[in-house]
Chains A and B, each alone.
Chain A
């Protein structure tokens, strides 16, 4: 049965459920550079968040179907396969950090 709001805080414990290595792995998967000095803060706060949401594991959800969004029965609409957009390339690329000849420029990928 669900916990009481007043008890929600009780699931927060001080043990580190995520190691520094685990957080480094997550940061890599998320393509985020994290400064050395910031790392301990993320290890602590992500551990406390994981402990907090772990309350869900105590709930028996049986055969309940996962709910992806609140619109039951809504499905992706189809539209006629015709051109509906004008060419806005120059306009959109005005926001790009680096562009050459209409192409986005990134560091060399293939040697």
Chain B
């Protein structure tokens, strides 16, 4: 058994028994990054020296009698989380020179738990993209086939997980940015309930949708990480003050009697091989004692247009802070203040970010605000109410995660609508603020596919348990791409 295939529990055991040190473990992953990352471009920044220093500190904490599920175990942070003293680029030229002056709460909490940061993961610029092609630092390659995208926006975190460059990674999910890349790279991804994990120090994209989450190789690993990340934070006004359940302790809850809803709208027109994988997964669940029933959310197909009004509107407002004055890129020789704003932003942002800012500016502008923005907010409520009604009848919902497996790099880069339609199965959970997961459930054309679970607000324990039971009965999550075993 190689170190990079061990679960978090196994790694903690190895560390506790003294068979390995955190420094050895950290060096193992740093060596893999050095050898394998150049072909993948999964990391923007590698923090090798800092990593060894934190590993030494973790070894000292262990020697002093401390223990902990994450103590001394390495991870990779998506480059959207502020990391004190380390460049936080958000995948953008705008922040290429930005050294965060403080830690995001997620980073601080994992640091306190003894996590060792190996580096910062590549991502779509400002998390806007579904393929990780909009990054200022170049596209990330999918370890299953380097001609394919890894999905986005957390494509670097996902590719790093699939390539076994770290035991776990953080990500963010505004419209599917954890779950879609998790599906396309064959790893487990969790997007928690809106408000479950603090967003303090996480660069804002669309504030009514953004949520931080986890990439791991198993649901059990994800449970341990989420346990350390989640919980109330007074520094985030959208953080919810609700106790965090003991996720790892609840993984073995039996599924007997669990009521699973199949989203009819998600199965309409679904590619047959994709549908067959979902049906196979459902058989696993029924054999574990769950029951299934079809549910219909008639407004669900409007999720994508709703999302592509709400998210750009919020982005246009959030990204107004990048003005070339207080931090970030500034153009050369501005002739006046307006010129400074316009050229700093025009040169600092890439094409997709500019497109979204302009879409948002348009839907919020006088004369169009009611017709687009308020309309989208009304449809958002209809979709949310339909989810709420569905959860009166079922415990969780199951469906496909993506319409297709990973597509070719460049295939959709020039057609924003084709790119946006990748998100048809992901954005609804964000609109309703619901927790969702992606689990590996098989292969199409030799590429991994994901199974989507969606639960009611704050049902992470139930989702993780259902995912864990599925992974005990299947081994899709244990498959590694060739060359990365």
- A positions within 8 Å CB-CB of B: 1-6, 8-9, 12, 18, 23, 26-35, 38, 41-42, 45-46, 48-50, 52-57, 59, 61, 64-71, 74, 76-77, 79, 88, 91-92, 94-98, 104, 106-109
Given that A26-B365, A52-B420, A107-B334 are known contacts, is A95 also in contact with B358, CB under 8 Å in the complex?
Answer: no
**Of B346, B377, B431, which one neighbours A33 at CB under 8 angstroms?**
B346
CA A5 to CA B234, docked complex, whole Å: 40
| A74 shortest CB reach to chain B, Å | 7
Q: A66-B378, A94-B101 are in contact. List 18 more A-B contacts (CB 8 A).
A: A1-B298, A2-B298, A6-B268, A6-B269, A31-B345, A33-B345, A49-B417, A52-B420, A68-B208, A70-B384, A74-B195, A95-B99, A95-B326, A96-B327, A97-B327, A104-B325, A106-B325, A106-B337
**Which 4 residue pairs across A and B have the least CB separation, nearest first?**
A70-B433, A33-B346, A66-B377, A97-B330
Query: With a CB–CB cut-off of 8 A, which chain A residues contact B375?
Result: 56-57, 59, 61
Contact A53 B308 (CB under 8 A): yes
Q: Are A32 and B349 in contact (CB under 8 A)?
A: yes
Q: Within 8 Å of chain A (Cβ to Cβ): is B407?
A: no
Q: From residue B229, how far is it (CB to closest CB) to chain A in Å?
A: 19
Docked Cα-Cα span, A38 to B347, in Å, equals: 12
Task: Provide the B277-288 mask, 1 if CB < 8 A to any CB of A, else 0.
Answer: 000000000000
Listed in ascending order, the chain B residues whose CB lies under 8 Å from chain A are 97-99, 101-102, 194-195, 207-208, 234, 237-238, 240, 265-266, 268-269, 298-302, 304-306, 308-309, 316, 320, 323-330, 334-343, 345-347, 349, 351, 354-355, 357-359, 361-363, 365, 371-372, 374-382, 384, 416-417, 420-421, 424, 431-434, 457
B358 touches A27 (CB 8 A): yes
Enumerate chain A residues within 8 angstroms of B434, measured Cβ to Cβ. 70
- Determine if B325 and A56 form an interchain contact, defined as CB atoms under 8 angstroms apart: no
A-B contacts, 7 of them at CB < 8 A, read A4-B268, A9-B421, A26-B365, A46-B362, A53-B308, A92-B326, A97-B328
In Å, the complex CA distance between A49 and B355 comes to 10
In the bound assembly, the distance between CA atoms of A96 and B325 in angstroms comes to 6
A74 lies within 8 A of B208 (CB): no
Contact A88 B101 (CB under 8 A): yes
CA distance A46 to B266 in the complex (A): 27
Interface of B is mostly: helix
The answer to whether B101 touches A95 (Cβ under 8 A) is yes
Known: A23-B358, A33-B346. A8 touches B416 (CB 8 A): no
